Protein backbone atom coordinates (compact mmCIF):
# COMPACT_ATOMS: atom_id res chain seq x y z
CA UNK A 1 0.00 0.00 0.00
CA UNK A 2 1.13 3.56 -0.72
CA UNK A 3 0.83 4.42 2.97
CA UNK A 4 3.55 1.88 3.81
CA UNK A 5 6.09 2.84 1.16
CA UNK A 6 9.26 4.53 2.42
CA UNK A 7 9.76 8.21 1.53
CA UNK A 8 13.05 10.08 1.68
CA UNK A 9 12.55 13.79 2.26
CA UNK A 10 14.89 16.27 0.55
CA UNK A 11 17.10 18.25 2.93
CA UNK A 12 15.96 21.47 4.60
CA UNK A 13 17.84 23.65 2.08
CA UNK A 14 15.78 22.18 -0.77
CA UNK A 15 12.52 22.97 0.99
CA UNK A 16 13.72 26.52 1.70
CA UNK A 17 14.57 26.95 -1.97
CA UNK A 18 11.09 25.78 -3.00
CA UNK A 19 9.50 28.07 -0.45
CA UNK A 20 11.31 31.13 -1.83
CA UNK A 21 10.38 30.23 -5.42
CA UNK A 22 6.71 29.70 -4.57
CA UNK A 23 6.49 32.86 -2.44
CA UNK A 24 7.86 34.89 -5.35
CA UNK A 25 5.34 33.37 -7.76
CA UNK A 26 2.34 33.33 -5.41
CA UNK A 27 2.48 37.11 -4.71
CA UNK A 28 0.52 37.10 -1.48
CA UNK A 29 -1.58 33.99 -2.11
CA UNK A 30 -1.78 31.84 1.01
CA UNK A 31 -2.66 28.40 -0.40
CA UNK A 32 0.47 27.60 -2.49
CA UNK A 33 2.79 27.83 0.52
CA UNK A 34 0.39 25.85 2.69
CA UNK A 35 0.32 23.17 -0.03
CA UNK A 36 4.12 23.00 0.14
CA UNK A 37 3.86 22.56 3.91
CA UNK A 38 1.52 19.60 3.33
CA UNK A 39 4.01 18.02 0.93
CA UNK A 40 6.81 18.38 3.45
CA UNK A 41 4.65 16.89 6.18
CA UNK A 42 3.87 13.94 3.85
CA UNK A 43 7.60 13.39 3.26
CA UNK A 44 8.66 13.63 6.92
CA UNK A 45 5.78 12.38 9.11
CA UNK A 46 3.77 9.14 9.37
CA UNK A 47 1.10 8.73 6.68
CA UNK A 48 -1.95 9.15 8.92
CA UNK A 49 -0.53 12.24 10.61
CA UNK A 50 0.27 13.84 7.23
CA UNK A 51 -3.24 13.06 5.92
CA UNK A 52 -4.84 14.60 8.99
CA UNK A 53 -2.68 17.71 8.61
CA UNK A 54 -3.63 18.04 4.94
CA UNK A 55 -7.35 17.70 5.71
CA UNK A 56 -7.19 20.31 8.48
CA UNK A 57 -5.27 22.68 6.19
CA UNK A 58 -7.83 22.24 3.42
CA UNK A 59 -10.79 22.94 5.72
CA UNK A 60 -9.11 26.07 7.07
CA UNK A 61 -8.25 27.40 3.60
CA UNK A 62 -11.71 26.61 2.19
CA UNK A 63 -13.25 29.00 4.71
CA UNK A 64 -10.82 31.84 3.90
CA UNK A 65 -11.49 35.12 2.12
CA UNK A 66 -9.01 34.16 -0.59
CA UNK A 67 -10.89 30.94 -1.35
CA UNK A 68 -14.16 32.87 -1.61
CA UNK A 69 -12.50 35.37 -3.96
CA UNK A 70 -11.08 32.59 -6.16
CA UNK A 71 -14.49 30.93 -6.40
CA UNK A 72 -16.04 34.29 -7.35
CA UNK A 73 -13.40 34.79 -10.09
CA UNK A 74 -13.91 31.26 -11.39
CA UNK A 75 -17.63 31.76 -11.98
CA UNK A 76 -17.39 35.43 -13.01
CA UNK A 77 -14.82 34.70 -15.73
CA UNK A 78 -17.09 32.01 -17.16
CA UNK A 79 -20.29 34.08 -16.94
CA UNK A 80 -18.91 37.34 -18.42
CA UNK A 81 -18.41 36.02 -21.99
CA UNK A 82 -21.98 34.66 -22.11
CA UNK A 83 -24.41 37.36 -20.89
CA UNK A 84 -28.06 36.28 -20.97
CA UNK A 85 -29.08 39.03 -23.41
CA UNK A 86 -26.52 37.97 -26.03
CA UNK A 87 -28.72 35.98 -28.43
CA UNK A 88 -27.76 37.30 -31.89
CA UNK A 89 -25.50 35.41 -34.30
CA UNK A 90 -22.03 37.01 -34.62
CA UNK A 91 -20.62 38.05 -37.97
CA UNK A 92 -17.65 36.17 -39.44
CA UNK A 93 -14.44 38.19 -39.11
CA UNK A 94 -11.89 37.08 -41.70
CA UNK A 95 -9.78 40.25 -41.84
CA UNK A 96 -9.07 43.15 -39.51
CA UNK A 97 -7.38 46.53 -39.52
CA UNK A 98 -5.91 48.80 -36.86
CA UNK A 99 -5.69 52.56 -37.21
CA UNK A 100 -2.62 53.72 -35.28
CA UNK A 101 0.65 51.88 -34.72
CA UNK A 102 1.65 53.20 -31.30
CA UNK A 103 1.94 51.13 -28.13
CA UNK A 104 -1.76 50.25 -28.07
CA UNK A 105 -2.29 49.90 -31.82
CA UNK A 106 0.73 47.63 -32.24
CA UNK A 107 -0.42 45.51 -29.30
CA UNK A 108 -3.91 45.12 -30.80
CA UNK A 109 -2.41 44.22 -34.18
CA UNK A 110 -0.19 41.61 -32.49
CA UNK A 111 -3.20 40.09 -30.72
CA UNK A 112 -5.10 39.86 -34.02
CA UNK A 113 -2.10 38.23 -35.73
CA UNK A 114 -1.71 35.77 -32.84
CA UNK A 115 -5.32 34.75 -33.56
CA UNK A 116 -4.44 34.16 -37.23
CA UNK A 117 -6.25 37.16 -38.70
CA UNK A 118 -4.62 39.08 -41.56
CA UNK A 119 -4.11 42.67 -40.40
CA UNK A 120 -3.87 46.01 -42.17
CA UNK A 121 -2.06 48.69 -40.15
CA UNK A 122 -2.83 52.29 -41.10
CA UNK A 123 -0.78 55.30 -40.00
CA UNK A 124 -0.78 58.95 -41.10
CA UNK A 125 2.44 58.95 -43.17
CA UNK A 126 5.35 56.76 -44.29
CA UNK A 127 7.48 57.62 -41.26
CA UNK A 128 4.67 56.70 -38.84
CA UNK A 129 4.01 53.48 -40.80
CA UNK A 130 7.68 52.48 -40.37
CA UNK A 131 7.48 53.25 -36.64
CA UNK A 132 4.30 51.20 -36.28
CA UNK A 133 5.87 48.20 -38.03
CA UNK A 134 8.94 48.52 -35.80
CA UNK A 135 6.68 48.53 -32.71
CA UNK A 136 4.93 45.40 -33.96
CA UNK A 137 8.19 43.64 -34.81
CA UNK A 138 9.59 44.41 -31.33
CA UNK A 139 6.58 42.63 -29.79
CA UNK A 140 7.22 39.47 -31.81
CA UNK A 141 11.00 39.71 -31.28
CA UNK A 142 10.32 39.86 -27.53
CA UNK A 143 8.19 36.71 -27.82
CA UNK A 144 11.08 34.96 -29.59
CA UNK A 145 13.52 35.96 -26.81
CA UNK A 146 11.15 34.58 -24.19
CA UNK A 147 10.77 31.32 -26.13
CA UNK A 148 7.08 31.91 -26.91
CA UNK A 149 7.64 32.01 -30.70
CA UNK A 150 10.25 30.67 -33.10
CA UNK A 151 11.97 33.03 -35.54
CA UNK A 152 9.88 31.50 -38.34
CA UNK A 153 6.63 32.04 -36.44
CA UNK A 154 7.53 35.65 -35.70
CA UNK A 155 8.29 36.25 -39.38
CA UNK A 156 4.99 34.63 -40.35
CA UNK A 157 3.20 37.01 -37.97
CA UNK A 158 4.87 39.99 -39.69
CA UNK A 159 4.19 38.58 -43.17
CA UNK A 160 0.47 38.68 -42.40
CA UNK A 161 0.56 42.47 -41.90
CA UNK A 162 -0.10 45.01 -44.65
CA UNK A 163 0.85 48.56 -43.68
CA UNK A 164 0.32 51.94 -45.28
CA UNK A 165 -1.20 55.39 -44.99
CA UNK A 166 -3.92 54.97 -47.63
CA UNK A 167 -7.37 54.24 -46.21
CA UNK A 168 -8.27 52.64 -49.55
CA UNK A 169 -6.43 49.55 -48.23
CA UNK A 170 -9.48 49.00 -45.99
CA UNK A 171 -12.03 48.70 -48.81
CA UNK A 172 -12.79 45.03 -48.10
CA UNK A 173 -11.89 44.71 -44.40
CA UNK A 174 -14.43 43.07 -42.06
CA UNK A 175 -13.40 44.85 -38.84
CA UNK A 176 -11.54 48.12 -38.23
CA UNK A 177 -10.29 49.10 -34.76
CA UNK A 178 -9.29 52.73 -34.19
CA UNK A 179 -6.39 53.16 -31.73
CA UNK A 180 -5.18 56.71 -32.33
CA UNK A 181 -4.42 59.49 -29.83
CA UNK A 182 -7.11 60.07 -27.18
CA UNK A 183 -8.54 63.21 -28.76
CA UNK A 184 -12.17 63.50 -29.88
CA UNK A 185 -11.40 65.61 -32.97
CA UNK A 186 -8.69 63.19 -34.13
CA UNK A 187 -10.90 60.15 -33.61
CA UNK A 188 -13.86 61.73 -35.42
CA UNK A 189 -11.62 62.52 -38.38
CA UNK A 190 -10.58 58.85 -38.51
CA UNK A 191 -14.18 57.63 -38.55
CA UNK A 192 -15.11 60.18 -41.23
CA UNK A 193 -12.38 58.60 -43.38
CA UNK A 194 -13.54 55.08 -42.53
CA UNK A 195 -17.09 56.00 -43.54
CA UNK A 196 -15.86 56.95 -47.00
CA UNK A 197 -13.61 53.92 -47.63
CA UNK A 198 -14.94 50.89 -45.72
CA UNK A 199 -17.76 48.58 -46.76
CA UNK A 200 -21.16 49.67 -45.47
CA UNK A 201 -21.35 46.53 -43.33
CA UNK A 202 -17.79 46.63 -41.96
CA UNK A 203 -17.73 46.76 -38.16
CA UNK A 204 -16.10 49.95 -36.87
CA UNK A 205 -14.69 49.96 -33.34
CA UNK A 206 -12.99 52.50 -31.12
CA UNK A 207 -10.41 51.62 -28.48
CA UNK A 208 -11.03 54.80 -26.47
CA UNK A 209 -10.20 54.64 -22.75
CA UNK A 210 -12.18 57.61 -21.43
CA UNK A 211 -14.01 59.40 -24.26
CA UNK A 212 -17.74 58.90 -24.81
CA UNK A 213 -18.17 56.45 -27.74
CA UNK A 214 -21.48 58.13 -28.62
CA UNK A 215 -19.64 61.39 -29.37
CA UNK A 216 -17.01 59.54 -31.43
CA UNK A 217 -19.75 57.79 -33.44
CA UNK A 218 -21.64 60.98 -34.35
CA UNK A 219 -21.97 61.15 -38.12
CA UNK A 220 -20.91 57.52 -38.73
CA UNK A 221 -23.03 55.96 -41.48
CA UNK A 222 -24.90 52.82 -40.37
CA UNK A 223 -24.18 53.43 -36.66
CA UNK A 224 -25.53 49.96 -35.79
CA UNK A 225 -22.07 48.60 -36.76
CA UNK A 226 -20.20 50.89 -34.34
CA UNK A 227 -18.93 49.58 -30.99
CA UNK A 228 -16.30 50.26 -28.33
CA UNK A 229 -13.61 47.57 -27.97
CA UNK A 230 -11.36 48.73 -25.14
CA UNK A 231 -8.12 46.77 -24.86
CA UNK A 232 -5.66 47.12 -21.98
CA UNK A 233 -1.94 47.68 -22.43
CA UNK A 234 -0.06 45.64 -23.48
CA UNK A 235 -3.00 44.59 -25.65
CA UNK A 236 -1.40 41.36 -26.84
CA UNK A 237 -0.93 40.20 -23.22
CA UNK A 238 -3.75 41.57 -21.04
CA UNK A 239 -6.78 39.28 -20.89
CA UNK A 240 -9.53 41.84 -20.34
CA UNK A 241 -11.48 43.30 -23.27
CA UNK A 242 -14.23 45.77 -22.40
CA UNK A 243 -17.12 45.63 -24.87
CA UNK A 244 -18.87 49.03 -24.94
CA UNK A 245 -22.03 49.23 -27.07
CA UNK A 246 -23.79 52.53 -27.76
CA UNK A 247 -27.59 52.90 -27.95
CA UNK A 248 -27.34 52.31 -31.75
CA UNK A 249 -25.09 49.21 -31.66
CA UNK A 250 -26.95 46.24 -33.15
CA UNK A 251 -27.22 42.91 -31.28
CA UNK A 252 -25.27 41.31 -34.14
CA UNK A 253 -22.39 43.79 -33.74
CA UNK A 254 -22.39 43.23 -29.98
CA UNK A 255 -22.30 39.45 -30.47
CA UNK A 256 -19.40 39.87 -32.92
CA UNK A 257 -17.44 41.82 -30.30
CA UNK A 258 -17.84 38.95 -27.84
CA UNK A 259 -16.93 36.36 -30.50
CA UNK A 260 -13.80 38.36 -31.38
CA UNK A 261 -12.75 38.38 -27.72
CA UNK A 262 -13.04 34.59 -27.58
CA UNK A 263 -10.96 34.20 -30.75
CA UNK A 264 -8.29 36.44 -29.19
CA UNK A 265 -8.36 34.30 -25.98
CA UNK A 266 -9.53 37.31 -23.97
CA UNK A 267 -12.23 37.72 -21.33
CA UNK A 268 -14.94 40.07 -22.64
CA UNK A 269 -16.86 42.19 -20.14
CA UNK A 270 -19.71 44.42 -21.28
CA UNK A 271 -19.39 47.95 -19.92
CA UNK A 272 -21.80 50.84 -19.77
CA UNK A 273 -20.80 54.30 -20.97
CA UNK A 274 -19.24 56.24 -18.10
CA UNK A 275 -15.93 57.90 -17.29
CA UNK A 276 -13.24 55.26 -17.76
CA UNK A 277 -15.77 52.43 -18.22
CA UNK A 278 -14.86 49.77 -15.61
CA UNK A 279 -11.12 49.06 -15.52
CA UNK A 280 -9.94 52.64 -15.84
CA UNK A 281 -12.62 53.84 -13.42
CA UNK A 282 -11.00 51.59 -10.80
CA UNK A 283 -7.50 52.54 -11.93
CA UNK A 284 -8.31 56.24 -11.58
CA UNK A 285 -9.03 55.86 -7.85
CA UNK A 286 -5.92 53.70 -7.38
CA UNK A 287 -3.77 56.29 -9.17
CA UNK A 288 -5.29 59.17 -7.20
CA UNK A 289 -4.21 57.58 -3.91
CA UNK A 290 -0.71 56.88 -5.26
CA UNK A 291 -0.32 60.49 -6.42
CA UNK A 292 -1.55 61.74 -3.04
CA UNK A 293 1.32 59.84 -1.41
CA UNK A 294 3.83 61.45 -3.80
CA UNK A 295 2.52 64.90 -2.87
CA UNK A 296 3.04 63.96 0.79
CA UNK A 297 6.72 63.30 0.04
CA UNK A 298 6.78 59.52 -0.41
CA UNK A 299 9.27 58.40 -3.08
CA UNK A 300 7.77 56.99 -6.28
CA UNK A 301 9.95 53.86 -6.17
CA UNK A 302 8.88 53.21 -2.56
CA UNK A 303 5.20 53.29 -3.60
CA UNK A 304 5.84 50.93 -6.53
CA UNK A 305 7.83 48.58 -4.25
CA UNK A 306 5.02 48.54 -1.68
CA UNK A 307 2.43 47.57 -4.30
CA UNK A 308 4.68 44.84 -5.71
CA UNK A 309 5.10 43.47 -2.19
CA UNK A 310 1.31 43.57 -1.82
CA UNK A 311 0.99 41.27 -4.86
CA UNK A 312 0.75 43.54 -7.91
CA UNK A 313 2.94 42.62 -10.90
CA UNK A 314 4.13 46.23 -10.98
CA UNK A 315 3.52 49.47 -9.13
CA UNK A 316 1.17 52.26 -10.30
CA UNK A 317 3.96 54.46 -11.66
CA UNK A 318 5.72 51.61 -13.45
CA UNK A 319 2.38 50.79 -15.08
CA UNK A 320 1.97 54.41 -16.21
CA UNK A 321 5.49 54.37 -17.69
CA UNK A 322 4.63 51.21 -19.62
CA UNK A 323 1.39 52.65 -21.03
CA UNK A 324 2.95 56.05 -21.70
CA UNK A 325 2.81 59.11 -19.44
CA UNK A 326 1.16 61.07 -22.27
CA UNK A 327 -1.80 58.69 -22.05
CA UNK A 328 -1.90 58.83 -18.23
185, 283, 194, 189: which is closest to 230 by C-alpha?
283
C-beta neighbour count of 276 within 10 angstroms: 16
φ, ψ for residue 206, nearest 5 deg: -110, 145
- Can 230 be counted among the known catalytic residues? yes
Task: Identify whether the C-beta of residue 103 lies closer than 8 Å to the C-beta of residue 323.
Answer: yes
The catalytic residue among 72, 230, 247, 310 is 230
Residues 270 and 276: beta-carbon distance below 8 Å: no
Q: How many other CB atoms sit within 10 Å of the CB of residue 285? A: 10
**DSSP character string of 125-188:** SHHHHHHHHHHHHHHHHHHHHTTSS-HHHHHHHHHTEEEES-GGGGTT-SEEEE---S-HHHHH
CB 185 within 8 A of CB 215: no
> How many CA atoms lie less than 13 Å away from 189 in the CB half-sphere?
9
Residue 176 backbone zone (phi > 0: left; psi -120 to 50: alpha; other: beta): beta
226 φ, ψ (degrees, to nearest 5): -95, 140
Q: Which residues are catalytic?
A: 230
Amino acid sequence: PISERPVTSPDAAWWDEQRKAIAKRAKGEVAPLRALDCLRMAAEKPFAEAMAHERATFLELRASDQAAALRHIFFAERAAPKPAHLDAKPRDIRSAAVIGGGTMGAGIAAALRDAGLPVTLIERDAEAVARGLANLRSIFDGAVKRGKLTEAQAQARMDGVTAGSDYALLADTDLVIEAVFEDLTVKRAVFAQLGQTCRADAILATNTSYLDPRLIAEGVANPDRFIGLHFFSPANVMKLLEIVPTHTTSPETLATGFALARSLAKIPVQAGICDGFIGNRILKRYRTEAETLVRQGIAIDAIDAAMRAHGFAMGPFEAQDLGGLDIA
